[in-house]
Structure 1
């Protein structure tokens, strides 16, 4: 974080595939906090809930730790990294087995005050 006004929040080991969470995160990038929360509230995707939780956490961090106003914040960066994969086995025909990968995600949201030009 180059700028000292940037505030970050992270949720680790979220039991959702990163690919699915990225679809939600792509919708809120570079939006204001109010707009983003609105988009997440009406999203039909399950990943919207943990993403909204991380966003609210980032806003709370900005208010409490950096004395920033929440109505002036924008999402500067939002990204999803892949966490460890839980490997499970499903029995198949003729005594064989196939692997099921239960993927996890690390969700990060960075908020910063809006630039007044």
Structure 2
């Protein structure tokens, strides 16, 4: 029976930044450990970075609180950023003055930021051990040898004479 890992999330809705700009920072932290992600966001110079830091901290606090409340055995050092999403919120339509009494319309974009953290299954490091990877490498080498043997097979002599 497979045990599902608990996911803890936090949201920041209606943030005054375009989703594209928020995704630039969120892509930096996806898949990283929570501590490393917090350090990365703390030193990022984008305007949305402090908001993302606050959301990530909130997700971490949610994990701590819910694990205490539900009695889960949660290792906070083993948490990582599972999802970091910037969805588009509603757009605010605005008007900018233009030459000769005209007006140009533009849109101010809003973003909904969602960050989920979960506990990493098994080994907390991303590096796989050589013993685990060895059977997979052997199978890959065998497959490569078979495909190489098929491609290097010699053509019949009759086809060579016809081509010349």
Fold-level match, TM-score > 0.5?
Answer: yes
CA RMSD of the aligned region, Å?
1.2
Q: What is the aligned partner in structure 2 of residue 40 from structure 1? A: 41
Aligned twin of 1:86: 92
Cα displacement (A) at 1:53: 0.8
Deviations 1:86-114 (A, max 9, x none): 11101101111111211110000110012
Q: Do residues 95 (structure 1) and 101 (structure 2) align?
A: yes
Contact 1:5 1:66 in 2 (8 A): no
Aligned to 1:106: 112
- Greater relative CO (CA pairs within 8 A, separation 6+): 1
Alpha-carbon distance in structure 2 between the residues aligned to 1:103 and 1:65: 33
Give the structure 2 partner of residue 28 of structure 1.
29
Q: Which runs of 4+ in 1 moved over 6 A?
A: none
Structure showing greater Rg: 2
Aligned to 2:122: 116
Q: Which runs of 5+ in 1 are unaligned?
A: none
8 Å Cα contact 1:58-1:110 kept in structure 2:
yes
Q: Tell me by how many angstroms 1:63 deviates.
A: 0.2
The structure with the largest strand share of the pair is 1
Contact 1:63 1:69 in 2 (8 A): no
Structure 1 residues 20-50: Cα deviation after superposition (integer angstroms, max 9, x where no partner): 0000000000000010011101101111111
Tell me the distance in 1 between the aligned counterparts of 2:11 and 2:89. Answer: 12
Higher share of residues assigned helix:
2
* Equivalent residue pairs, number: 115
